[in-house]
Structure 1
């Protein structure tokens, strides 16, 4: 790697306000606000709206599609029609 062209990577706390959890990880992002972490050190903190702790895809609370209802609706709509010959 070439020297002096890459951004500085530092420990940063990402705090998910929706789930009430925080993650300590490395990032190039910086913030003025700081928080004291579990190890007693002070780190920059960045508030995020969604993380893996609150996103429906990761928590398993995503909406379930009513596929049975969709199939019944399709069958009712196209019940009397002959299939297309091609």
Structure 2
């Protein structure tokens, strides 16, 4: 490998602003902003609008599609009835 061409891989705090939750993982993300972590040290921080802590799919608050929507109307119009002849 060539020296000095790869980005630095370090611990970074990712902060979900909508859920007010933070988690730390290793990343190549670079930021001039820092945040204190539980160990008292400062780490670079990346602010997120959505993460697994706030996304409806992961939190279980995802809603189903409307029963009177376009997909439901299509399915009702082209409904296949199964009939077995015996």
Q: TM-score, normalised by structure 1?
A: 0.72
- CA distance in 1 between counterparts of 2:52 and 2:2 reads 34
Tell me, which stretches of 5 or more residues in structure 1 are unaligned? Answer: 79-86
Equivalent position SS for 1:22: strand
Ranges of 4+ aligned residues in structure 1 off by more than 6 Å: none
Aligned equivalent of 1:54: 54
Aligned equivalent of 2:63: 63
Larger Rg: 1
**Mapping of 1:1-86 within 5 angstroms?**
3-66=3-66, 70=72, 74=76
Post-superposition shift, 1:4? 3.7
Post-superposition shift, 1:65? 2.9
- CA distance in 2 between counterparts of 1:41 and 1:51 reads 23
Number of matched pairs: 76
Q: CA RMSD in A?
A: 2.6
Post-superposition shift, 1:5? 3.7
Post-superposition shift, 1:63? 1.1
